[in-house]
Amino acid sequence: MINTFRQDRTENPYPKQYFVRDIRISPPLILAPMEGVTNKTFRRLIRSIGGHGLTYTEFIASQTIQNRGNRALQTASFDPDEYPIALQLYGKDPHIMAEAAKVVEDLGATIIDINMGCPSKKVCARSGGSALMKEPLLAAAIVREVKKAITVPLTVKMRSGFTHSNRNAPEIGRICQEEGADAIAIHWRTTEDKYGGERQIDKIAQTKAELSIPVIANGDIIDAESAIRMLQDTDCDGLMIGRGAMRNPWVFQEIHAALQQKEYIPPSIEKRRVLLRTFLHRYRDDFKLEKISLGKFKQIANHFYSGLPNGPALRMAILRSQSLKEIEENIQRFFEEAQ
């Protein structure tokens, strides 16, 4: 089948957009779903900077959202102007997944995504996440039932395989396409790799060559150089960025400039200071309780120091802080010394 999502890249070799059925993703850069990270506060931060085309919520357990649990509903919440937004579900029961998908569609999801990529032991033990790659028939049933239950586009995020000996992303990708998925994203790592492993993007490239729906590449995309390399090596339709966005929230701007073949000007020290301070205040306002705000902010700030002169010193100062006020004082002191 001819891939109708390919673009004429004669003048500019890099993609400007792709479509998930009728939803335009432009630029073709996606904030990956990350547990404990891509909450509404972090997504607001990324949106305030720009350069991306789609954001994802954290993954949501199908059982809890089906029952409309308060915590699940909070995870699924998003701002009225956050468009397009993908809500990701995980689970192993096709019917519960379908019912959950109806709920998140009613909540206003632009796109519903099925999690077949999470390597967490807790999730995989329940046959969810990347464990579904070991059960192609179950994976097919889940995609089929969810597809029948919703009217919005459906996507699937997966890994290249569960183990090194069975890197079956092309097979699972074909199954997802046959059952009605409108796009898929593939992380080059296997579940066995966890967060390490040696870069192997061949299964992304193979899947892209065999499918007619968009294929999005994921894994170690941290700057313009790694983004362009992934596009050239896989001919993928878009790029999904996870930990790279935690390290540097401006990474989408940097890559977007590269896709347009334009010069990128990194943010000044002052812009970084303002963003970090604003981010701290947003966590305080959104989560109310200081203990929760403190923990959430430290989790992100543990990565944020990338690109800052003597950044590890700021990281340690933040991690050792015992209050939000102390964090703010440490941020102020660090940037005054950095001037």
Q: How far apart are alpha carbons 39 and 297 in whole angstroms?
A: 12
Q: How far apart are alpha carbons 253 and 258 in whole angstroms?
A: 9
Q: How far apart are alpha carbons 203 and 243 in whole angstroms?
A: 21
Q: How far apart are alpha carbons 114 and 205 in whole angstroms?
A: 21
Write down the residue that tokens 């029948």 correspond to.
148
Do 61 and 91 form a contact (C-beta atoms < 8 A)?
A: yes
Catalytic-role residue among 118, 124, 176, 236: 118
Which of 152, 217, 209 is CA-nearest to residue 180? 152
Do 113 and 88 form a contact (C-beta atoms < 8 A)?
A: yes
Do 204 and 191 form a contact (C-beta atoms < 8 A)?
A: no
Q: Is 124 an active-site residue?
A: no
DSSP letters spanning 290-312: HHHHHHHHHHHHHHHTTTSTTHH
Q: How far apart are alpha carbons 271 and 267 in whole angstroms?
A: 6
Catalytic residue IDs: 118
